[in-house]
Amino acid sequence: MVHAKGAARRYSPGHVVDVTKSRISGRPTHISTSYVERQNLTIRMQQRRFTRLTNASSKKLDNHAAAVALYAAQYNFRRVHETLRLTPAMQLGVADHRWAIGELIDAVLGGNVPAPQGRRVGRFNVIDGGES
């Protein structure tokens, strides 16, 4: 049974323990926090590890770092963004195609970038039909 006192402590916001002032200088041409806030929302919605009180939280820092790295790779090399109609890696010229899941897994396990040609990708076969 959860007591009201424990629930109030669990769901209440944290307390500020320290504030540090620092000077930031430069001449930016455009300042907008919208991009950062949108990325924060996207990662919270797609990675349940970033939501509070979930059973998908990482208990070890190494596992959390690996999950974030895998999310970043998927987001940049596999996910076609609606506004770009490409992956961010293709937009930047880092990749010439949308990576198949096999290519992504092979790059993670092998530590190298797979060659784009052919239907066999590393140790994986790309299956035609559906999402590759």
| Neighbouring C-beta atoms of residue 37, cutoff 10 Å | 10
Question: Position 80: which residue type?
Answer: V
pLDDT at 9: 66
- Residue of 38, 130, 126, 30 lying closest to 75 (CA atoms): 38
Instruction: Tell me the three state secondary structure of residue 72.
Output: helix
User: Where are the domains positioned within the chain?
Assistant: 100-132
- pLDDT at residue number 40: 86
Give the per-residue pLDDT at 117: 47
On the 0-12 / 13-18 / 19+ scale of CB atoms within 10 A, 77 is buried
pLDDT tens digits in sequence order for the chain, 132 residues long: 555 566 666 667 778 888 898 887 888 777 788 888 988 888 888 887 777 666 777 778 888 888 888 888 899 999 998 888 999 999 888 889 999 988 888 887 876 554 444 455 555 555 554 444
